[in-house]
């Protein structure tokens, strides 16, 4: 949280297919009332005019000059160069639109554009879940610190981002952490997003209840059916979220195998965590069997659910002990428990993305 008291201001944008929400952040806090404008997604000239107008309106509300513009925008895109590719929900952007350079020319300040999954992970890593975990480790007197985080967003699609040692890992093609194209464990002919998304929940529920997909309830309603707050097919609702938990647990396990750190989940469907969690944990704590019939853990590290008090306490404590350096009287501390942990966002997805955009801009300016 190194920028909590920073006096610099950054203009931000939450770009949706219907509306654009413009804001300004200073010291990791919003400092003006957001400005909401229609995206005008089908008309490029009007859309670009809207973006310029939104940032101009927010800038006029500030007493100080902003130092940068930083925001999330859908891909595909060449994010480092600010060039947006062919978007499905913003059809005006076709053929490669240099949005970053356009805004730099207009406002004469640096412009940084990233994927929303990347900025979500970055916000959680610098000002959200990762510092929360490390602060608990420090207060408990454990010297171990976690430096790597992967963030997952669960909603219309399945997004992700990776942060390593405080730096966002983007990849050579701006395509790192495209978790939506991981394989779907339940149906390996499809990708993970077909099992971890709004449409996945609705599809499974409609299949089990034999209703038309277009008549399927929204995930919020299916969740309430599952917990007994609404009338409906409860078994189908529970199975829809169970299947999502299994696919999600497999995907998170695959990524944590590479990243070896903390995972945090956000997005609208994360609100149904109580129905997703059992199958997710079962998958992450499951086993493999080799050809000799031997079994071993799904992950090399021990898995902890950090929103559970008992798991959190074990995770923080570890198995720390003093060991003697042979031939000397010196001892060193040794924590022999290899472990990874995951939990659900405490600050919310939108705030994490905004904080990610702010911290990303200042980090770039400082380096």
Contact indicator for 132, 346 with CB cutoff of 8 Å: yes
Q: What is the pLDDT of residue 90?
A: 75
Check if the beta carbon of residue 262 is closer than 8 Å to that of residue 304. Answer: no
Peptide bond before residue 312 is cis, with ω within 30 degrees of 0: no
CA 237 to chain centre: 25
Rounded mean pLDDT, 232-240: 98
pLDDT score at 56: 97
Q: Sort strands 111-114 and 35-38 into parallel, antiparallel or unpaired.
A: unpaired
pLDDT at 217: 96
How high is the pLDDT of residue 237? 98
Sign of CA dihedral 162, 166, 168, 169: negative
Residue 336's beta-bridge partner residues?
Answer: none
Length of the chain: 367
Mean pLDDT of 221-249: 97
What does the pLDDT average to over 96-110? 96
The helix or strand, by DSSP H or E, that contains position 244, with its residue range, turns out to be: helix 234-259
Residue 255, pLDDT above cutoff 80: yes
CA 144 to chain centre: 24
Tens digits of residue pLDDT in 262-292: 999 999 999 999 999 999 999 999 999 999 9
How high does pLDDT run on average in the chain?
Answer: 94
Q: Over 90: is that where the pLDDT of 367 sits?
A: no
Given a cut of 90, is residue 74 above it in pLDDT? no
Q: What is the pLDDT of residues 312-323, one digit of tens each?
A: 999 999 998 889
Mean pLDDT of the region 322-334 = 91
pLDDT of residue 147: 97
In percent, the amount of the chain with pLDDT more than 90 equals 85
Bridge partners of 297?
A: 287
Per-residue pLDDT band for 102 (boundaries 50, 70, 90) equals very high
Query: Which residues are registered as beta bridge partners of 344?
Result: 265
The fraction of the chain above a pLDDT of 70, given in percent, is 99
- What would the mean pLDDT of 156-185 be, rounded to a whole number? 94
User: In this predicted model, what pLDDT tens digit does every residue of 13-49 receive, in sequence order?
Assistant: 988 777 888 999 999 999 999 999 998 888 999 999 9
Residue bearing the bigger pLDDT, 229 or 75: 229
Tokens 């309830």 appear where? Answer: 217
What local confidence, expressed as pLDDT, does residue 352 receive?
92
- Res. 226: pLDDT tops 90: yes
Q: Establish how many alpha carbons lie within 13 A of residue 27's alpha carbon, considering only the half-sphere containing its beta carbon.
A: 5
Q: Is the pLDDT of residue 150 over 90?
A: yes
Greater confidence (93 vs 178) lies with 178
Domains and CATH numbers, the chain: 9-114 (3.30.420.40), 120-366 (3.30.420.40)
Q: Which two tokens stand for residue 221?
A: 């309603």
Q: What is the pLDDT of residue 333?
A: 85
Per-residue pLDDT, 289: 96
Is 83 a residue whose pLDDT tops 80? yes
Are 232 and 291 in contact by the 8 Å Cβ rule? The answer is no
Q: What are the tokens at 354?
A: 């905004």
């Amino acid at each position: 949280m190194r920028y909590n008291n920073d006096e610099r201001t950054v203009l931000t944008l939450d770009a949706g297919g219907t509306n654009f929400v413009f804001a300004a952040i200073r010291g990791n806090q919003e400092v003006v009332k957001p400005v909401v404008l229609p995206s005008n997604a089908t008309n490029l000239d009007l859309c670009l005019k809207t973006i310029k107008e939104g940032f101009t309106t927010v800038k006029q509300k500030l007493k100080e000059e902003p130092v940068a513009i930083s925001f999330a925008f859908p891909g595909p895109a060449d994010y480092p160069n600010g060039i947006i590719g062919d978007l499905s929900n913003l059809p005006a952007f076709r053929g490669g639109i240099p949005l970053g350079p356009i805004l730099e020319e207009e406002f004469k300040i640096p412009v940084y554009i990233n994927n929303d999954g990347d900025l979500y992970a970055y916000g959680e890593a610098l000002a959200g879940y990762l510092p929360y975990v490390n602060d608990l480790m420090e207060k408990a007197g454990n010297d171990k610190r976690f430096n790597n985080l992967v963030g997952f967003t669960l909603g219309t699609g399945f997004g992700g981002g990776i942060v390593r040692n405080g730096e966002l890992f983007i990849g050579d093609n701006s395509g790192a952490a495209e978790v939506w194209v991981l394989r779907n464990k339940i149906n390996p002919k499809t990708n993970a997003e077909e099992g971890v998304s709004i449409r996945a929940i609705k599809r499974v529920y409609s299949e089990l209840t034999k209703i038309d997909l277009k008549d399927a309830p929204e995930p919020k309603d299916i969740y309430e059916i599952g917990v007994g707050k609404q009338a409906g097919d409860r078994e189908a609702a529970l199975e829809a979220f169970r299947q999502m938990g299994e696919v999600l647990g497999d995907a998170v396990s695959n990524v944590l195998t590479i990243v070896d750190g903390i995972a945090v989940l956000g997005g609208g469907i994360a609100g149904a965590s109580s129905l997703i969690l059992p199958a997710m944990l079962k998958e992450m704590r499951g086993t493999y069997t080799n050809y000799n019939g031997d079994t071993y853990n799904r992950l090399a590290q021990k898995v902890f659910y950090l929103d559970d008090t008992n798991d959190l306490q074990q995770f923080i404590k570890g198995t720390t002990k003093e060991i003697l350096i042979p031939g000397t009287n010196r001892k060193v501390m040794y924590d022999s428990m290899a472990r990874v942990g995951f939990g659900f966002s405490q600050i919310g997805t939108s705030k994490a993305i905004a904080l990610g955009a702010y911290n990303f801009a200042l980090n770039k300016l400082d380096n």
